[in-house]
Amino acid sequence: MSSSVPGLQDTIVLCGPALDPGKAGYGAGKGGYVRNVSVLLQHFAAGDVKMTLSPYSTRRYSRWWKLVLPFRLIGDLVVFARNARQGGAVHVMMTYGLAIYREFGMSLIARGLRRPLILDIRGGSFVPWLESAGWLQRSLAHWVLRHAAVILGQGTAVVEYLRPRYGGKVHHFPNFVQSAHLPVRLEPRCMQPGLSVIFVGYCYEGKGVFELVEGCAQAARQGLTLRLTLVGAESADFQAFLDRFQAPPALRIERRGTLEFEQVQALLDAHDVFCFPTRHAGEGHPNAITEAMAHALVIVTTRHGFIPELLDESDAYFVDSGSAQALASTLLHIDRHRDEARRKSGSARAAVQRRFMEARVLGDLRDLYRRTLHPAGERR
């Protein structure tokens, strides 16, 4: 058994970011990530498997971050070594990149303490990062993967990449929607004149927000009345772009900044279309897309990262990356074919209920936890 101390053998130590996204965490680049930690702790607060948090630091952008990095690394490992003793296994949310040095240290500590390591690879950039990393980081990553008891991949692409080398210990662990936050009563979408469009995420070039604004403006100049709501912190160049942008009369742009989870859910409920024209080749599984699907919004997105694993042509409208014209044409098409758009939005919501609900995803995770904490020869 991984721990002989009474009570600890049924506890998972979750190593993830501290629960401090700020008052307004959604749209700041880490709100969904921090929320995942909060939901996991809430879900595993009761039952036969418990969970406790061992927080690690997250980078705050400043000119001094490289100087602070070694001290952060040491501090995170000291905290982890202390907290890892409080459970029967450790679940590390892996962010790779420069964090691989911390993750390698945590793997060594877990091995020294004889705590099984559950390695949770977050985001969609892991495979391209691993293939392009230098020999040292790549070697450290494979050491951590080799010595993990369980490997979780947010996307099936990660699972399919790692399973030939690491076998059956690699499992799919997507993002999910809490049962309590699946809307029960929904108004049909696209029932009013014009369209209301929402984007949720960090507003910078990589998320396609420049062409989103231009595409909405093009559609408005062709006669479509539009309201575009932008939720998220704005990069300096996008902020400057919006400050000088002259929207046509038929387009109203609302800049909401970063918001709390409940505020975002209310805004999703009040819109027709969720537009996510990301250019990011390493796009993971954004919480905001799954939540928009749960609200039965009409989804317009690109095919980057894990997004094609979540949606297909029956669930969403796909556009070419970087094309304002494609976005404008799609919005005009939705306006002309509203019944079709509502069918797609209903299909997307059904996909969430079938594949991405808390009970299913975290039920599978609980089973993995049980098998890790109590291997076949040790089960009670």
In this structure, what token pair is assigned to residue 189?
């979408």
Q: Do domains 8-176+357-378 and 180-355 have the same CATH topology?
A: yes
So what's the architecture of 180-355 in CATH?
3-Layer(aba) Sandwich (3.40)
pLDDT in tens, 63-77: 655 666 788 889 899
Please report, rounded to a whole number, the percentage of residues in the chain having pLDDT higher than 70: 90
User: What pLDDT is recorded for position 378?
Assistant: 57
Rounded to whole angstroms, how far apart are CA atoms 100 and 93? 11
Rounded to whole angstroms, how far apart are CA atoms 16 and 36? 9
Taking residue 5's Cβ as centre, other Cβ atoms within 10 Å add up to 12
Rounded to whole angstroms, how far apart are CA atoms 8 and 83? 11
| 3-state SS string for 271-296 | CCEEEECCCCCCCCCCHHHHHHHHCC
Nearest 5°: the CA angle 52, 44, 109 is 35
Rounded to whole angstroms, how far apart are CA atoms 130 and 134? 8
Rounded to whole angstroms, how far apart are CA atoms 206 and 193? 31
Rounded to whole angstroms, how far apart are CA atoms 280 and 284? 9
Domain 8-176+357-378 = CATH 3.40.250.10: no
Rounded to whole angstroms, how far apart are CA atoms 21 and 260? 9
pLDDT in tens, 188-237: 999 999 999 999 999 999 999 999 999 999 999 999 999 999 999 999 99
Amino acid at 108: L
Q: CB-based contacts of 193: which residues, under 8 Å, 6+ apart?
A: 225
pLDDT in tens, 11-33: 999 998 876 644 446 766 556 66
Rounded to whole angstroms, how far apart are CA atoms 253 and 216? 10
Q: Is 297 exposed, middle or buried (0-12, 13-18, 19+ CB in 10 A)?
A: buried
Confidence of residue 6 (pLDDT cuts 50, 70, 90): very low
Query: What global pTM score does this model have?
Result: 0.90
- Cα distances from 240 to residues 98, 128, 364, in angstroms, run 31, 32, 46
Rounded to whole angstroms, how far apart are CA atoms 221 and 218? 5
Taking residue 56's Cβ as centre, other Cβ atoms within 10 Å add up to 23
pLDDT in tens, 325-336: 999 999 999 999
The full set of domain ranges for the chain reads 8-176+357-378, 180-355
pLDDT in tens, 349-363: 999 999 999 999 999
Rounded to whole angstroms, how far apart are CA atoms 100 and 280? 21
Taking residue 221's Cβ as centre, other Cβ atoms within 10 Å add up to 13
